[in-house]
Amino acid sequence: MTIDFLKKELSNILSKKRYDHSIRVLETALTLGKIYDGDLNKISTAALLHDYAKEFKREDLIKIAKEHFLSETEDYLENIEILHSYASAYIAKEIFKITDTEILSAIKYHTTGRKNMSLTEKIVYIADAIEPKRDYPHVEKIRDLALVNLNKAILLEVNKKIEYLVKGEFIIHINSIEMRNWLLKIS
Ligand SMILES: [Fe+2]
Ligand SMILES: [Fe+2]
Listed residues: CB within 5 A of ion ligand 1: 51
Three-class DSSP category at 39: coil
Q: Which amino acid belongs to residue 173?
A: H
The model's pTM: 0.97
pLDDT, tens digit, 9 for 90 and up, residues 141-165: 999 999 999 999 999 999 999 999 9
Listed residues: CB within 5 A of ion ligand 2: 51, 128
Please, are residues 141 and 159 in contact by the beta-carbon 8 Å criterion? no
Ligand closest to 133 (CA) is 2
DSSP sequence for 64-132: HHHHH-HHHHGGGTT-HHHHHHHHHHHHHHHTS----HHHHHHHHTTTT--TT--HHHHHHHHHHHHST
Q: Residue 131 burial by CB count (10 A; 0-12/13-18/19+): exposed, middle or buried? A: buried
Ligand closest to 19 (CA) is 2
Q: Which amino acid belongs to residue 86?
A: Y
Inform me whether the pLDDT recorded for 1 exceeds 80: no
pLDDT, tens digit, 9 for 90 and up, residues 56-68: 999 999 999 999 9
Place 85 in a pLDDT band, splitting at 50, 70 and 90.
Answer: very high
**Predicted local confidence at residue 38, as pLDDT:** 98
Ligand closest to 18 (CA) is 2
Please, are residues 27 and 40 in contact by the beta-carbon 8 Å criterion? no
pLDDT, tens digit, 9 for 90 and up, residues 96-122: 999 999 999 999 999 999 999 999 999
CA 85 to ligand 1 centroid distance, Å: 6
**Predicted local confidence at residue 34, as pLDDT:** 98
d(CA 55, CA 156): 28
CA 111 to ligand 2 centroid distance, Å: 8
CA 35 to ligand 1 centroid distance, Å: 23
Please, are residues 51 and 20 in contact by the beta-carbon 8 Å criterion? no
Q: What is the mean pLDDT of the chain?
A: 97
DSSP sequence for 118-175: -HHHHHHHHHHHHSTT--STTHHHHHHHHHH-HHHHHHHHHHHHHHHHHHTT----HH
**Predicted local confidence at residue 4, as pLDDT:** 95
CA 79 to ligand 1 centroid distance, Å: 12
Place 177 in a pLDDT band, splitting at 50, 70 and 90.
Answer: very high
d(CA 107, CA 100): 11
Please, are residues 44 and 14 in contact by the beta-carbon 8 Å criterion? no
**Predicted local confidence at residue 97, as pLDDT:** 97
Homologous superfamily of the 3-135 domain (CATH): Hypothetical protein af1432 (1.10.3210.10)
**Predicted local confidence at residue 125, as pLDDT:** 98
**Predicted local confidence at residue 186, as pLDDT:** 95
Ligand closest to 80 (CA) is 1
Inform me whether the pLDDT recorded for 187 exceeds 90: no
Round the CA-based radius of gyration of the chain to a whole number and report it. 15
Q: Residues of the chain with pLDDT > 70: what percent? A: 100
pLDDT, tens digit, 9 for 90 and up, residues 31-84: 999 999 999 999 999 999 999 999 999 999 999 999 999 999 999 999 888 999
